[in-house]
């Protein structure tokens, strides 16, 4: 179990834990930010592609200003043929090596927030903790119709300002702050549009608009 928020010796803490065995270690989360954790057992790519990851948000000692907050965890799924009575699909290792995912998702389900938009207020301060588990695809995070007021790179205390799109590297996490200036539907995407087409798209619903968005 590999916690990116930790500073320690992997050879001590990130060792294999076999069935019926256990391991305990602690760490101090010194650096604030949005961090990935994942299974670190070989082959790591297979385990991440099978969903063995998550996000840890480390808050700064002095709290960030109040905002409506969301955690978005981008990842990919590479599927083999449907098998058995329940049509189960296992990882296709070659497709993973070829960067050819079937689905690219926010929080594990393709188009999850396109079909279930996130409700926000008009002009409300918004904060997105975006973690990219991969295992392969960089997330070009963008909100259609908004410009990020601030983007924090991991533990950086000095944000970038006035940013339209910013890459979240595989195994990285960024904090995005924005406001939506008028009532409406605002898509958020990975602007790598093959990935948006494969499911890395959602909607923010500001206020109570009528109509829909073209993206």
Q: Which residue has the tokens 């978005």?
A: 72
C-beta of 37: minimal distance to Cu ion in Å? 8
Closest to Cu ion by CB, 159 or 171: 171
Closest to Cu ion by CB, 45 or 122: 45
Closest to Cu ion by CB, 48 or 204: 48
Q: Tell whether residue 154 is a contact of Cu ion (CB under 5 A).
A: no
C-beta of 12: minimal distance to Cu ion in Å? 16
| DSSP states along 48-81 | HHTT-EEEEEE--SSPPPP-EEEEEEEEEE-B--
Site for Cu ion in 2-31 (CB under 5 A): 2
Site for Cu ion in 162-191 (CB under 5 A): 171
Taking CB under 5 A as the rule, which mask of x and - marks residues 125-144 in contact with Cu ion?
A: --------------------
Strand order in the sheet with 201-206: 118-120, 201-206, 184-190, 139-143, 165-168
Q: Do residues 173 and 196 make contact, with C-beta atoms less than 8 angstroms apart?
A: no
* Size of site (CB under 5 A) for Cu ion: 2
The token pair that represents 196 in the structure block: 């948006």
Closest to Cu ion by CB, 2 or 124: 2
Which residue's C-beta sits nearest to Cu ion?
2
Q: Do residues 76 and 136 make contact, with C-beta atoms less than 8 angstroms apart?
A: yes
N-terminal to C-terminal alpha carbon distance within the chain: 37
Q: Which residues bind Cu ion (CB under 5 A)?
A: 2, 171
């Amino acid at each position: 179990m590999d916690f990116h928020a930790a500073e320690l010796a992997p050879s001590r803490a990130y060792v294999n834990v076999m069935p019926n065995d256990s391991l305990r270690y602690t760490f101090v989360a010194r650096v604030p930010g949005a961090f990935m954790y994942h299974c670190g057992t070989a082959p790591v790519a297979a385990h991440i592609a099978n969903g063995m990851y998550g996000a840890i948000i480390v808050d700064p000692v002095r709290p960030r200003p109040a905002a409506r907050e969301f955690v978005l965890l981008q990842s990919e799924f590479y599927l083999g043929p449907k098998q058995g009575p329940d049509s189960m699909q296992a990882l296709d290792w070659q497709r993973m090596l070829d960067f050819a995912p079937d689905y690219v998702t926010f929080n594990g389900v393709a188009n999850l927030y396109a079909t279930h938009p996130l409700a926000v207020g008009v002009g409300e301060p918004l904060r997105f903790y975006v973690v990219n588990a991969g295992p392969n695809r960089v997330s070009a995070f963008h909100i259609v119709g908004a410009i990020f007021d601030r983007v924090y790179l991991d533990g950086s205390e000095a944000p970038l300002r006035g940013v339209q799109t910013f890459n979240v590297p595989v195994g990285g996490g960024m904090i995005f702050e924005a406001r939506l200036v008028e009532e409406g539907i605002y898509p958020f995407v990975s602007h790598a549009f093959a990935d948006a087409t494969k499911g890395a798209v959602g909607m923010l619903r500001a206020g109570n608009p009528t109509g829909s968005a073209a993206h």
